[in-house]
Amino acid sequence: MSADFAAHHRERVGAQAWRRALTSAFRCVLALIGIAIIVQAFIVVQARPQDLITGVHGMADLIRRAMPPDFSQLPSTFWPTLQTIDIALFGTLVGIVIALPLALLAASNMTPSRSVYYAARGIIGFTRAVPDLVWALLFVTAVGLGPFPGGLALGVHSVGMLGRLFAETIEQMDMAPIHALELTGARRIQVFSHGIIPSILPSLLGITLYRLDENIRSSLVLGFVGAGGIGFQLLTAMNLFQYQEVSLLLIIIFVIVLGAERISAELRQRLA
Amino acid sequence: MLRVRKLSLRYPNGKLALSDFDLAVAAGEFVVVLGGNGSGKTTLLRCVTRTVKPSDGEIWLGKTDLCALEGEKLRCARLALAMIWQHASLVRRRSVLSNVASGALGRNFGLRTALGGLPKAELEAARGYLAEVGLASLADQRAGTLSGGQAQRVAIARALAQRPQVLLADEPVASLDPEAAEEIMRLLQRLARLENIAVVCVLHQVELAYAYADRVVGIRDGRMVFDLPRGEVSREAVHRLYLPEAA
């Protein structure tokens, strides 16, 4: 009996040792794969840290030429700045108007049928998957240079971003008050305006403010592809080597981004 | 007022949730339905509101057979049928007054109500219903700030705003303390008498049924076991409703 027990014990100890060895080997392989992934990333991007050191001189020269910022250009930056903010505002508004009904169709607890659900989710996914810069290039081709293609690009991209978040908010909504309203004999539109909207409005406003903040950042870059705003002016100044104007524009961009972020955060906190 | 005849509901999995159920509730009558978990009490109410379609039988609301209606006709018929649940199901971010007045949406359709507004007359009437449930002072408060008992009374006021002929209550006191539960039951009893509403209330609290109901209906395995005036319902008969299957 005791011989059997000893044999069984030896077997168990042996199996445990094997398991430990296998686990260690597996961890080593995982670590090697992780290192390989990191190394290939450095190779693919042709990372040359030494260039950063040798490039410090050029960078310092650029900063020297950009200083002091050319504040005499301040009045001429007013219009592009306003354009940048308005592109973001326009894009966000277009996004809300299209995203809200789309989100209702794309929310599993509201959609009239599965096919509509998948169609709405498909549109949301597609508009989100294509970056706003690509949309801007497409719209510049379609409607020409200026702030309008920028606004359209942000609008279409916002449909995807807002649509997904709106749909998720609707799906997480407490349905009991909605069913209660339905049973009072209220019509669908009344259930929507009296039940659904008041229940999710704070969340929707919070998401929208966050999106507006994001769109302001994006609208700064859209100018690089000819979609108007301060980005376009920044690109022009860089091409003309007017680095003092570039530094002024960077200061303005910094103020806009920081201001939008603070205002958005403050308003969202009040809504919570 | 409300007549249920030979009502049956069989789920797609073959389970019989209600079987040949008959019930008649007159205007001003307060009927309590007792039964164990899964006995078919809530299913009965869901069939009456037509949230689920019965497999067989008739549900007469006055002279209208609800089982024969669909779509817009069913919506119109539902106006006479109010429902309150275990949880008040209020829109938490709206005011108490708006929640109450929203009970009248079914008979007020126009641009204002479609856009989230409410007619002034209905808001005024809602103040009256709130006074009736003793919460006039909370009219402008957000519904989300109310206690369980207060929220349930607001749900009753909302049901009143619907001006129903029949009020269905699915365990309306299940999540309330004994004092609040008594208050709600007193209120339902008073409404049945004063407003001449037929009230059907599903309960688990046997003592509340003995204290407030005009009639008590016992249900087990989807079948009616008894339907008697409260004075004639024996403790033993009620006890048998809750016995395990094998007993």
The pairing of strands B198-203 and B30-34 is parallel
User: pLDDT tens for residues A110-131?
Assistant: 888 999 999 999 999 999 998 8
User: pLDDT tens for residues B85-135?
Assistant: 888 889 998 999 999 999 999 888 889 889 888 999 999 999 988 988 888
Mean pLDDT of all residues belonging to chain A: 87
- The verdict on A184 touching B (C-beta cutoff 8 Å) is yes
The alpha carbon of residue A181 is apart from the nearest alpha carbon of chain B, in Å, by: 7
Report residue B245's pLDDT band, with 50, 70 and 90 as the boundaries.
low
What's the whole-number mean pLDDT along residues B135-151? Answer: 90
Q: Tokens 């204290």 appear where?
A: B211
Q: Has residue B29 got a pLDDT over 60? A: yes
In sequence order, which ranges of A45-174 are alpha helices (DSSP H)?
Answer: 49-66, 74-106, 114-129, 132-143, 147-171
Cross-chain residue pair A199–B91, CB shorter than 8 Å: yes
* Tokens matching residue A196: 């659904």
**Paired strand residues for B198:** B166
Contact A203, A210 (CB under 8 A): no
Q: Has residue B215 got a pLDDT over 60? A: yes
Number of residues that make up chain B = 247
Please state, in angstroms and as integers, the Cα–Cα distance from residue A199 to each residue in A27, B14, B84, B92, following that order.
Answer: 48, 38, 19, 7
At residue B96, the pLDDT reads: 95
- Taking the complete model, does pTM exceed 0.90, yes or no? no
Contact B47, B56 (CB under 8 A): no
Cα A203 off chain centre by: 17
- What fold characterizes domain A65-271? MetI-like fold (1.10.3720)
Relative orientation angle of helices A243-271 and A230-239, to the nearest 10 degrees: 160
Cross-chain residue pair A185–B162, CB shorter than 8 Å: yes
The pairing of strands B223-229 and B215-220 is antiparallel
Q: Which of B96, B105, B115, B163 to mutate to test the interface with A (most CBs of A within 10 A)?
A: B105
- Could you give the domains of chain B? 1-80+164-247 (3.40.50.300), 90-163 (no CATH)
Q: Which of B72, B90, B97, B102 to mutate to test the interface with A (most CBs of A within 10 A)?
A: B102
Q: Has residue B199 got a pLDDT over 90? A: yes
Cross-chain residue pair B113–A194, CB shorter than 8 Å: yes
Between chain A and chain B, the number of residue pairs with CB atoms below 8 A apart is 79
For B172, phi and psi rounded to 5 degrees? -70, -15
At residue A58, the pLDDT reads: 82
* Nearest Cβ partner for A177 among B75, B79, B89: B89
- The verdict on A146 touching B (C-beta cutoff 8 Å) is no
Higher per-residue confidence, B246 vs B161: B161
Report residue A256's pLDDT band, with 50, 70 and 90 as the boundaries.
confident
At residue B30, the pLDDT reads: 93
* Nearest Cβ partner for B116 among A176, A180, A197: A197
Contact B175, B148 (CB under 8 A): yes
Q: Has residue A42 got a pLDDT over 60? A: yes
Residues of A in contact with B82 (CB under 8 A): 183-184
What's the whole-number mean pLDDT along residues B192-219? Answer: 91
Burial B213-231 (b: 16+ CB within 10 A, else e): bbbbbbbbebbbbbbeebe
The Cα B59–Cα B3 span in angstroms is: 6
Query: In a 3-state reduction of DSSP, which class is residue A95?
Result: helix
The Cα A93–Cα A159 span in angstroms is: 10
From the CA atom positions of chain B, what is the Rg in Å? 18
Q: Has residue B83 got a pLDDT over 80? A: yes
Provide the ipTM.
0.84
Query: CB B13: neighbour CB atoms within 10 A?
Result: 5
